[in-house]
Amino acid sequence: MDWLYSLQGGKSPMEYINEVEPIKVEGLVVASYGSDDPALGCPVEYICLKGTSYENPAVCKYTGNRYYSDTWKYGAHHH
């Protein structure tokens, strides 16, 4: 797999993902999927965001995307 990293400038796919800021979400659950086209990407993963923060985001096991919400701190009806 070293050849793959050399083509990408020496970084692994996870290193590229970790360079992206965690995604702030309104609400307590996020649906993470790899593509807007349902025929592409990974299965949809519904992720509970209770207890998450910018410093401690939830991670999608398929895409590696990181999500957090502060809605859980105030209850589901806070605006």
Which pLDDT tens digit goes with each residue over 55-76? 999 999 988 999 999 987 776 5
Q: What is the DSSP string of 20-37?
A: SPPEE-SSSEEEE-S-SS
The tens digit of pLDDT for each residue in 39-49 reads 777 888 999 99
Beta bridge partners of 45: 32
Name the pTM for this structure: 0.73
Domains in the chain and their CATH numbers? Answer: 22-79 (2.60.260)
Q: What is the mean pLDDT of the chain?
A: 83
Q: How far is CA 18 from CA 32, 61, 63, in A?
A: 16, 13, 11
- Calculate the alpha carbon distances from 74 to 20, 59, 68, 78 in Å: 27, 22, 14, 6
